[in-house]
Structure 1
Amino acid sequence: MVMSDVSMLEPKSVFQYFDEISAVPRASKFNAKISEYLVNFAKKNNLEYYQDELGNVIIYKGATPGYETAEPVMLQGHMDMVAAVAEGCEHDFETQPLEIYVDGNYVTAAGTTLGADNGIAIAMALAVLTSDQVSHPALEVLITVDEEIGMLGAEGLDPSKISARRIINIDSESEGVITVGCAGAVDCITTFETPRVTKSGVCYKYTLDGLQGGHSGMDIDKERGNAIDLTGRVFLDCLKEARMNIIRLTGGAVTNAICNKVSGEVLVHPDDCIAFEKAMREVSAELKSEYEIADPGLKITMERVGEMETEVVSDECQMNLMKYLFVIPTGVHHMSVALPGIVETSMSIGFIRLEGDTMQTGAMIRSSVDSRKKNLCQRVKMVSEAYGGKCEFSGDYGAWEFNNHSTLLDICVDAFELHFGKKPEVGAVHAGLECGKWAEKWGAIDAVSIGPEMMEVHSPNEKLSIPSTARTWEYLKAILAACK
């Protein structure tokens, strides 16, 4: 295996493992290779392990001297990563390794997501398992599959394979923050029939891109543009001025990322090309002005292909589709009163596929209040059905509620103050963490989530802070040492 300059960073054991796993394809739905890598790691280091049919892997290690009577601790993360690429980059996430490199104080990847979410959990856990310098109770290291697409690995895990009820999840992205709660979420897939008719006209290639995208939970309050929402608005404006029909639209790949690009083709009546181009320019200027600060890279391009006869979406159908995209209740719905500054309830559309005789959109609805999540699901279903769609929900998981009697939190706070000489921030996140699933499976758990500083996760701009990783590694060791 060819190692990159990342493997020379400190802490060396953590970054060497991060470098290794970055060479193993591990996009969501394609976990087999990384799962086998973890099994081979356990065999190589003579550690007991369990691998289930889904590909979840648990690696067990006994307590170090002096910790034999301490309650066990579970270290936990997920092996899959969001697969997103920058414009112009071609990358096969099923077969190709990531091209990771050092950029100043950060590790990043060339043209793709980095996968520090959640590869850093794997790297730190493996470094603990192979170290003879880390004091700890008995460890159960659980690395799950397909967390990013609905926590499918966590959902399917046999709970009897885990005895630990003290859980350190390493899937947070802000150093100095101890997360003790998270939002629940559910995927919403809406499907529309798109009857076709044959028309003649002028074909244009359409692209709306240049948006930052990002995490549909952590970045939902940053007022970034969503290419799918905006496409509905763009086409509705153009339909007021010109006769046009959609041939194809596609954008995004997963429900939990803010869609940063939509592309496709439309057919315009030959007599309306000037009006169509004018309307496109006007709405483009309007959007660029609105998103001048939040998304300054936004751009809409049209490339005139030429005259042709082809199948297009019928007038009545496409009007319903665009109205649906325009009115679907995306964005922030409620802010938390209990935890000021934290989003409580939101929705974001992550992908769209309009090809052939169907259009499908995928969205994620999140809330730390289950009743509000249920209510928003009902609203989305009603809007979808009002415009002729069929709405299905999957991957539903509940919120992880704060435990104000957590002894593990006390340990983490004390270790942080002792190590860094200041108090940590304690809070919740508007994102899904697998601790919510563990609460469902085992009832009473004592859990925290920590992690090093990361930027722009779920996007091709994702970065992992090198000094923060080093500090978080020392902090993790201090927590484990205090878990007597």
Structure 2
Amino acid sequence: MNNDLMALEPKKVFEFFAEILQIPRPSKKEDKIIEYLLKWGNDRKLETLRDEIGNVLIRKPATKGFEAKPWVCLQSHMDMVCEKNSDKVFDFEKDSIETYIEDGWLKAKGTTLGADDGIGMAMALAILDSDDIEHGNIECLFTVDEETGLSGAEALKPDFLNSRILINLDSEDEGELFIGCAGGKDTMGKLPYELEPCTEGKAYRISVFGGKGGHSGDDINKGLANANKVLNRILWTLNDALVYALASFEGGNLRNAIAREANAVVVVDQENAKEMIEMVKKYNDDIRFEFRSTEPNLGVKIEEVERPKEVIDPMTQEDLLNVLYAIPHGVLAMSREIPNFVETSTNLASVKMVDNCFVIATSQRSSIETAKEAACDRNEACLRLVGADVTHGDGYPGWVPNPQSKILKIAEQSYEKLFGKKPIVRAIHAGLECGLIGEKYKGMDMISFGPTLRGVHSPDEKLEIKTVEMCWRHTLDILKNV
């Protein structure tokens, strides 16, 4: 047990969080935490349900005098991102998270903390466990697999919940109320290529390195470099200036991340080698200047390598460079209702070579469903122009902001009463389960908030302790005043 949590306030919240930290709960492997929740609810003789995919719902009757209030759902997710430092020996399927406190923050020892969204779960359990908190009928929904596919929220049946008001406890900035999020959909193009023998010339690897990367939704408007775009730009420029053969192009990894690194191997005649090297060096200076304020460590380098035995056929090389230049990356539209909010974007996520095909993956996001589909169609059009075979993922819906939301007004008034200042109301250009839940339950009145977290999805994850009590007080006051 993490004894350092036992002295923290709110006491019950951190007691339950300490219990949750003892239970392995990787995405898609939530059996142990599901078992814990079912036993927890049944031991307290609360109505406790599990659906087919593993979502758990625990209901608690209203306290005396609050029976006429509407049902409210408190929603959080069970699973956590499992990342550790390379020198940390740790098995996320067996071991318990170890914590320590530093400068007002709760941290884990070399692993992700799992406060995303374990702290939301703990708050819900503390309310269910209480006998002195005033509230109407409440139900606490704990979903599976939020981190790797939103499949728990997607599998919800329309009759599982009684509530038409939902508070999502999975946001990461105390003092901010979220009222909307983007939906998302992936697009993949496969561009086949032929290989031709390569018997002469000098080979060079051109690499883009030092990019920050970042979340393809929340960071898409921060002026960060996409390594795939940076690499393709110099290859396209070289292709226009001199003759070379492309042997490989690889960049990016995750659909929801901006590509940090990319590299290509090219073969050039001896007489053009010096010019190529000079062009790449100049391009490095240019690109570092362009991104000087947002990407201080970004760079492009060229180094001689062993000549490959085969290269890509010239027609496909031309098609690849053209389509990667044509496919957009970044913000496509800003919201017309919410200042400084990205409505629609696209991310050139990765370029891979698989089974004699260039596999080009893009990820589109929008808070407007029709705009999301249009962004997908735009990328499909680019890919089809060069003869690529195009497919789309199923996608997930966005959560359209409703500034007139009744639960929002209650939450705003509550926050100002408790803390003497107005909360920030905003939407997020990333996926939340609220989008899928709102699709299943038309008219569901929703907000999302939570204590302050930093470094989520990494071993740097940390929870600001004082904000947990603020979030706790805010939640209880909302339940009292719904």
2:236 is aligned with what amino acid? L
Aligned 1:263-412 pairs, distance under 5 A = 266-269=265-268, 271=270, 274-301=274-301, 304=304, 306-403=305-402, 406-412=405-411
Question: C-alpha root-mean-square deviation of aligned residues, in Å?
Answer: 3.6
1:387 is aligned with what amino acid? V
| Counterpart Cα distance in 2 of 1:96 and 1:107 | 18
Structure 1 residue 37, shift from structure 2 partner: 4.8
| Counterpart Cα distance in 2 of 1:116 and 1:401 | 26
| Counterpart Cα distance in 2 of 1:112 and 1:241 | 49
When residues 400 and 39 of structure 1 are mapped into structure 2, their CA distance, relative to the original with a 3 A threshold, is same
Structure 1 residue 439, shift from structure 2 partner: 2.5
Q: What's the counterpart of residue 246 of structure 1?
A: 247
- Check conservation: 1:148, 1:256, Cα contact below 8 A: no
| Counterpart Cα distance in 2 of 1:292 and 1:48 | 57
When residues 89 and 385 of structure 1 are mapped into structure 2, their CA distance, relative to the original with a 3 A threshold, is farther
1:219 is aligned with what amino acid? D
1:377 is aligned with what amino acid? C
1:110-146 Cα deviation digits (max 9, x unpaired): 7776554434322322333334443333322222233
Structure 1 residue 241, shift from structure 2 partner: 4.9
Query: Aligned to 1:448, what secondary structure does the other structure show?
Result: strand
Q: What's the counterpart of residue 235 of structure 1?
A: 235
Mind listing any 5+ residue stretches in structure 1 that lack a counterpart?
none
- Check conservation: 2:368, 2:398, Cα contact below 8 A: yes
When residues 84 and 479 of structure 1 are mapped into structure 2, their CA distance, relative to the original with a 3 A threshold, is same
When residues 391 and 93 of structure 1 are mapped into structure 2, their CA distance, relative to the original with a 3 A threshold, is farther
Aligned 1:157-236 pairs, distance under 5 A = 157-199=156-198, 207-236=207-236
1:219-259 Cα deviation digits (max 9, x unpaired): 21111122232232243345445624233624222x22323
| Counterpart Cα distance in 2 of 1:47 and 1:278 | 72
Deviates more, 1:317-326 or 1:151-160: 317-326
1:136-183 Cα deviation digits (max 9, x unpaired): 333222222333455332222112111111100122233222222333
- Check conservation: 1:81, 1:118, Cα contact below 8 A: yes
- Check conservation: 1:181, 1:427, Cα contact below 8 A: yes
When residues 54 and 168 of structure 1 are mapped into structure 2, their CA distance, relative to the original with a 3 A threshold, is same
| Counterpart Cα distance in 1 of 2:235 and 2:5 | 45
| Counterpart Cα distance in 1 of 2:198 and 2:84 | 34
1:184 is aligned with what amino acid? G
| Counterpart Cα distance in 2 of 1:20 and 1:241 | 64
| Counterpart Cα distance in 1 of 2:229 and 2:246 | 18
Deviates more, 1:431-440 or 1:401-410: 401-410
| Counterpart Cα distance in 1 of 2:252 and 2:3 | 32
Aligned 1:7-156 pairs, distance under 5 A = 9-15=8-14, 17-18=16-17, 21=20, 26=25, 28-32=27-31, 34-39=33-38, 41-42=40-41, 47-81=46-80, 102-107=101-106, 115-156=114-155
Query: Aligned to 1:287, what secondary structure does the other structure show?
Result: helix
Query: Aligned to 2:478, what secondary structure does the other structure show?
Result: helix
Query: Aligned to 1:147, what secondary structure does the other structure show?
Result: coil
Deviates more, 1:38-47 or 1:364-373: 38-47
Deviates more, 1:472-481 or 1:187-196: 187-196
Deviates more, 1:364-373 or 1:199-208: 199-208
| Counterpart Cα distance in 1 of 2:102 and 2:192 | 47
Larger Rg: 2
Aligned 1:472-483 pairs, distance under 5 A = 472-483=471-482
Structure 1 residue 73, shift from structure 2 partner: 1.2
- Check conservation: 2:247, 2:310, Cα contact below 8 A: no
| Counterpart Cα distance in 2 of 1:87 and 1:324 | 37
Q: What's the counterpart of residue 429 of structure 1?
A: 428
1:446 aligns with 2:445: yes
Structure 1 residue 395, shift from structure 2 partner: 3.5
When residues 190 and 339 of structure 1 are mapped into structure 2, their CA distance, relative to the original with a 3 A threshold, is same
- Check conservation: 1:194, 1:356, Cα contact below 8 A: no
| Counterpart Cα distance in 1 of 2:86 and 2:205 | 16
Deviates more, 1:329-338 or 1:358-367: 358-367
| Counterpart Cα distance in 2 of 1:374 and 1:336 | 16
| Counterpart Cα distance in 2 of 1:415 and 1:275 | 66
Query: Aligned to 1:395, what secondary structure does the other structure show?
Result: coil
Taking only the aligned residue pairs, the percentage that are identical comes to 37
1:60 is aligned with what amino acid? R
Query: Aligned to 1:333, what secondary structure does the other structure show?
Result: strand
- Check conservation: 1:247, 1:311, Cα contact below 8 A: no
When residues 209 and 86 of structure 1 are mapped into structure 2, their CA distance, relative to the original with a 3 A threshold, is farther
| Counterpart Cα distance in 2 of 1:388 and 1:475 | 55
2:444 is aligned with what amino acid? I
Deviates more, 1:322-331 or 1:8-17: 8-17
When residues 360 and 244 of structure 1 are mapped into structure 2, their CA distance, relative to the original with a 3 A threshold, is same
Q: TM-score, normalised by structure 1?
A: 0.84
| Counterpart Cα distance in 2 of 1:215 and 1:252 | 12
When residues 114 and 241 of structure 1 are mapped into structure 2, their CA distance, relative to the original with a 3 A threshold, is farther
Query: Aligned to 1:161, what secondary structure does the other structure show?
Result: coil
Query: Aligned to 2:306, what secondary structure does the other structure show?
Result: strand
| Counterpart Cα distance in 2 of 1:67 and 1:436 | 29
Query: Aligned to 2:62, what secondary structure does the other structure show?
Result: coil
Structure 1 residue 476, shift from structure 2 partner: 1.5
When residues 93 and 388 of structure 1 are mapped into structure 2, their CA distance, relative to the original with a 3 A threshold, is farther
1:252 is aligned with what amino acid? N
Structure 1 residue 416, shift from structure 2 partner: 0.8
